[in-house]
Amino acid sequence: MTDPGGKAGSDAAFGAEPRWEPTKPRLRLLPLLFAWLVSAASVYVAAAVVPDVEITDVGGAFVVAAVIAVVNSVLPPLVGALRLPFTLLLGFVSVLLIDAAALVIAADALPEFIAVSSFGDALVASLVMAAVSIVLEVLAGTNEEDEFTFRVVKSTAQRQGGATPTAIPGLICLEIDGLALPVLRRAMRDGSAPNLARWIAEGGYHIAEWETDLSSQTGASQAGILLGSNEDIPAFRWVEKETATLMSCSAPEDCAEIERRHASGDGLLVEGGASRGNLLSGEAGEVILTVSRMEAEKRANPGYRAFLSNGFNVTRALVLFGWEVLLEWTAAIRAARRDVRPRGHRGGIYPLLRGVMCVMVRDLVVFGVLSDMMRGRPAVYATFASYDEVAHHSGLERADTLEALRKLDQQFGRIERARAYAGRPYEIVVLSDHGQTQGATFKQRNGYGLDDLVERSLAGAHVDGIEGGDEQSAMVGHAVSEATGRKRDKRPKNDVSDRQVVVLGSGNLGLVYLMDERRRLTLEEISERHPRLIDALREHPHVGWLLVRSHEHGPLALGAGGAHHLADGRIEGEDPLAAFSPGAPAHLLRTDGFEHVADIMVGSFYDPELDEGCAFEELISFHGGLGGPQTQPFILYPSTLDLGDEPIVGAAAVHALLKRWRRELESQGSTDHAAGVIAQSDRAPTLHRT
């Protein structure tokens, strides 16, 4: 265990409270000179590239770079400090304009060194300068810019009324959405997650698997992890038949309702915690990009101040956004040329969405976490969704998917280095909410969708198939709507009272609702009204199981060759759940007890030899049901925290574990306070510095 830089001390003889003394970020001479050199080079290149920007000589570039640095050290922090409504949009645009204005100011102040024809030219030049700076810093392989970043974030946090440093440890939970333990292990071995690998090899960290509920998706998992309960969340989207309402874990009003139903006052982030980039808030006091509390995006939101206080962040984000879009176009063309299979849909707005998730949202969440650390918040839960988003369309372990993971790992290294400067010592836990399983989609395999299969098997009823979008695209779309104040059109499929049959796709979990009754129909009733439906579904080669409730036999899992009686474990013929995990029957039995479970729950097939199944929506890597690594998320934790001996089954069990760790850290600090002494070895976080 090594000292990360911050120090714990005490004045035990005088009965004083133990102190945590954060390291102060320094502006060291050599890194400062290097930054100046990089900035001057970027000015010189921008003048060479942009036709109407001229610079006299290399020496002039250094003078101009110094003036721009002074302007950017003054104006963006002022923007960050303003209480602007729609903070993200107005702040982002304002700082972008300031970046361009800095070049105009330099040209007005130093006409003998630089000439700029128009504000538009200055805006283009500022983006070129950001691109050149990024390239030079990558080539130099330096992390020295972190010192400046931490200094800006710490200063911003202090202006927001940062808490007095305390020696009571806090807990930071970093969620990698959609990353399965087997994929992470291979990524650590092969160099796509070097920081996490180092934490295990050198930093005293351990890694453990936990088992998801049914369904294995972010809405259910985060309800369990952040609120302690995910009861009656049968899928990412479901129908509540008594009101004929479609619920979705992507709609802000529905997420708010989910949180209202499951909040108990014991959320993971109560009493000072912060939620960053999540579907649900965990009852946090501070939120950004949290779907259940999307109204926070309309108001002045101080959570963005750390990001906006450094003008370079905005131009850097725009440049990296463009680069990410280019990477996606290139990867899609390469996959098509090589005829890589399975191959997902990668056109439309998806490249732009990928850029937003892999750059914009990621960086905003990182700066939110850094700000929380400098302010000494007791608990932070942040979700990073870029790996999940890319994997859905590219595949589990394709090159561009693992590159998204590598960039996340790089940001986790930055968060690790920031602990020395934080307002309290922190323990960092990295976890995932579920994994993903890969395979060609149901429609790719058959030429028709699950809704088509249901419709052709019904006795004259019309089917409405609804899939559409994952949690990331929904979060971004709603965030843009709220941040701009634009009213969204009423969701046309929220009210399904006029539908005869609704078929939903939630990864490789399908839901069939027969709407002629405002209650769940029994197997016998379904068979009487639609004699061909059950057999058509259970005998399909790409359907693994059906969950139905029989009036005579209770909950049943049906397959092509047999049935599994879930109440007593009795099996008739071939067990339809034999290819799935040993816990599959218990998960189906639990879901059968939900009030809003579908009349027919449909699970895709799973082939253990090929390790593949199929989604009922157009995602080649998917989750939501059972089978394969989608049900194998992980928890990576320091050895100072005790995992316990029992298997971790279900998201509520993860909540109990994280909640226990938070209480133990807080009580450990309180015990040390009562004793009047803190041992350096006990208080120093467990990671090695780099």
So what's the pLDDT on residue 671?
A: 54
**Mean pLDDT in residue range 159-165:** 72
So what's the pLDDT on residue 675?
A: 42
Q: Are residues 218 and 435 in contact, defined by beta-carbon separation less than 8 angstroms?
A: no
Q: pLDDT for 44-83, tens place per residue?
A: 888 888 988 888 777 888 888 888 888 877 877 777 677 7
Indicate whether 2 pLDDT > 50.
no
> CA 157 → CA 10, 421, 468, 621, 632, distances in Å?
25, 12, 39, 40, 37
Strand partners, 512: 503, 600
Q: How high does pLDDT run on average in the chain?
A: 87
So what's the pLDDT on residue 525?
A: 97
So what's the pLDDT on residue 88?
A: 75
So what's the pLDDT on residue 467?
A: 60
**Mean pLDDT in residue range 459-483:** 57
So what's the pLDDT on residue 143?
A: 54
Distance (Å, whole) CA 332 – CA 141: 29
So what's the pLDDT on residue 165?
A: 84
So what's the pLDDT on residue 144?
A: 53
**Mean pLDDT in residue range 77-97:** 77
Burial (CB count <10 Å: 0-12, 13-18, 19+), residue 59? exposed
The band of 626, judged by pLDDT with boundaries at 50, 70 and 90, is: very high
Q: pLDDT for 396-410, tens place per residue?
A: 999 999 999 999 999
Global pTM? 0.89
The band of 160, judged by pLDDT with boundaries at 50, 70 and 90, is: confident
Distance (Å, whole) CA 434 – CA 598: 22
The band of 3, judged by pLDDT with boundaries at 50, 70 and 90, is: very low
Indicate whether 10 pLDDT > 50.
no
Q: Are residues 320 and 134 in contact, defined by beta-carbon separation less than 8 angstroms?
A: yes
Indicate whether 550 pLDDT > 90.
yes
Among candidate residues 296, 342, 315, the one with its CA nearest the CA of residue 125: 315
Indicate whether 12 pLDDT > 70.
no
Torsion (CA) 398, 403, 408, 409 in degrees, nearest 10: 100
What are the residues whose beta carbons fall under 8 Å from the beta carbon of 541, sequence distance 6 or more? 560, 605
Indicate whether 604 pLDDT > 50.
yes
Query: C-alpha 243: how far from its chain's center?
Result: 31
Q: pLDDT for 129-156, tens place per residue?
A: 888 888 887 777 655 567 778 888 888 7
What DSSP element (H or E) covers 178? none
Q: Which of 243-252, 486-495, 499-508, 542-551 has the lowest average pLDDT? A: 486-495
**Mean pLDDT in residue range 155-168:** 78
Q: Which of 88-92, 118-122, 299-303, 644-648 has the highest mean pLDDT?
A: 644-648
Q: Which of 259-273, 382-396, 478-492 has the lowest average pLDDT? A: 478-492
